[in-house]
């Protein structure tokens, strides 16, 4: 979906002033997510994101509340702590 399509769906649901971006890893969706963040911020919407912290995106600086939740050892996914530290240092 494009940023405009997502906003159109939100508008159908009614009024909103807070949106949380989550599900999968939103930080992997660079171009569309950057446009969505910009358009929602232009509308004065407060934004939150939930991400595993595996990839930095410049639009993360525009998010009001960032939740980093690295994968636990039981997931069998390797956490890159250097990347995670970099993300934390940028916020």
Residue 28 pLDDT: 75
pLDDT digits (tens, 9 = 90+) for 30-72: 678 899 999 999 999 999 999 888 788 899 999 999 988 877 6
> Could you give the domains of the chain?
3-90 (3.40.50)
What pTM did the predictor assign? 0.81
Cβ-based neighbours of 2, under 8 Å, separated by 6 or more: 32, 35
* Structural contact between residues 41 and 47, judged by C-beta atoms closer than 8 angstroms: yes
């Amino acid at each position: 979906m494009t940023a405009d399509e997502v906003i159109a769906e939100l508008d159908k649901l009614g009024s909103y002033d807070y949106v949380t971006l989550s599900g999968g890893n939103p930080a992997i969706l660079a171009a569309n997510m950057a446009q969505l963040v910009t358009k929602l911020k232009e509308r004065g919407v407060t934004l939150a994101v939930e991400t595993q912290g595996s990839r930095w995106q410049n639009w993360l600086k525009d998010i009001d509340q960032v939740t980093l939740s690295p994968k636990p050892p039981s997931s069998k996914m390797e956490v890159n702590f250097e990347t995670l530290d970099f993300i934390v240092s940028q916020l």
